[in-house]
Amino acid sequence: MINVTKTFLPPQNEYQAILQRAWETGWMTNRGILVQDLESKLKSYLEVEQIICTTNGTLPIQIAIKALDLKGHIITTPFSYVATTSSIVWEGCKPIFVDIHPEYLTIDETKIEAVITSETSAILATHVYGNPCHVEAISEIAKKYNLKVIYDAAHCFGVTYKGQSIFNYGDVSTCSFHATKLFHTGEGGAFFTNSKSLNKRLFDYHNFGHQGKEAFNGIGINAKMSELQAAMGLAVLPYIDNILEGRKDTVEMYNKAFKNTDVNTLKLRDNTEWNYSYYPILFNDENQLLKIKSILENNKIFTRRYFYPSLNKLPYTNKAQFPIAENIASRVLCLPLYYGLELENINRVIDIIISEI
Ligand SMILES: *Cc1c(COP(=O)(O)O)cnc(C)c1O
């Protein structure tokens, strides 16, 4: 069986050796030595000024909306994971979708201004599959209309754009360290911001709003990463360069195989150092996708319709149409991609697709 993804598991003895440090302190959460160690190692690995690790990658989106005091309308993309939209609705704001760029698959920045009204407070966009949005154009628009910018950078571990971490763009960026993501802590995530004061606010909000033991700064929630999660991150991190290398080899094989075929692959934005996080391909139409997906399944090869459906189809969003996002969602399929995917299995995936298109 070949799954679409496979969680990288570090050697168990290495994980246990790290856990031993938590055992010695008897301290399981509330920002113990392991969370602090992980944050410090991630800061230097990612080359970011500030990071706050969290218990998953969804709460930081919700907390960012709260901490930026966003109200009313938030402009967002219909082509992302459900958490991007659900976070907006959960925080009592209204998602206003803008269609996507047909090749980069990120929000189409040229269509943003047309939907800005006096009720708009922010733009929440996703760097889909680790492919950066047009961050300069979005930043210009935000300045012009006094909007905040949050990037759902769940897929972006290690991605750089124009020579710096993609997490440095926007007022806040968030990442996910879920077990299916490139770098993981089982469940986990993080916030990134360049602002010292906003970082403090995010920090307080992710810890109930505590200001010391007895005072509170605004409303908070519990989004703290535990020591057990941090231990997994510390055990995985030493392997991250190997993981990236392995994925890169697979991606290069796929790229070579699908070049000059009917299968379209992701167009990366220029000046991007990518992280090989997903391998989405675009079929001609949904019928072709369904046919090939099922043939792959008959061969015990499991792919994923990621992202499907387009988020404007969710039961709690309005029913306006977004033809590009809906069209892309209907014919995009993510192929198996993980560290340790064997050469012969990559070739099996390729052979089946090539012979069926
Ligand atoms: C995975 C993901 C999330 C949510 O992250 P969790 O860690 O699972 O909560 C949010 N946005 C996108 C685009 C994702 O892929």
Ligand 1 neighbourhood includes 62 CB (under 6 angstroms): no
Q: Is 56 touching ligand 1 by the criterion CB < 6 Å?
A: yes
Tell me the one-letter amino acid at 22. A
What's the pTM value of the predicted model, to 2 decimals? Answer: 0.97
- Given the candidates 1.10.287.130, 3.90.79.10, 3.40.640.10, 3.90.1150.10, the CATH classification of the domain at 12-238 is 3.40.640.10
Answer yes or no: same fold for 12-238 and 239-356.
Answer: no
- Give one DSSP letter per residue of 284-320, joined into a string: SSHHHHHHHHHHHHHTTB--B-TT-S-GGGSTTS---
Question: Ligand 1 centre and the CA of 219: distance in Å?
Answer: 23
Quote the CA–CA distance of 6 and 304 in Å, as a whole number.
Answer: 13
Q: Which residue has the tokens 């992280």?
A: 275
Token readout for 275 is 């992280």
- Count of C-beta atoms within a 10 Å radius of residue 213: 5
Domain boundaries, the chain: 12-238, 239-356
Label residue 215 exposed, middle or buried (CB < 10 Å: 0-12, 13-18, 19+).
exposed
For 101-138, what is each residue's pLDDT tens digit? 999 999 999 999 999 999 999 999 999 999 999 999 99
Instruction: Please determine, for residue 280, whether its predicted confidence score (pLDDT) is greater than 90.
Output: yes
Q: Whose CA is nearest to atom 6 of ligand 1?
A: 57
Q: Is the pLDDT of residue 217 over 90?
A: no
- Residues 26-62: tens digit of each pLDDT: 999 999 999 999 999 999 999 999 999 999 999 999 9
- Nearest CA to 233 out of 47, 8, 3, 6 is that of 8
Q: Count each helix (H run) and each strand (E run) in the chain, helices first.
A: 11, 15
CATH placement of domain 239-356: 3.90.1150.10
Band (319; pLDDT cuts 50, 70, 90)? confident
Element (H, E) at 353: helix 343-356
| Distance from Cα 26 to the centre of ligand 1, integer Å | 31
Closest CA to 218 of 209, 228, 226, 231: 209
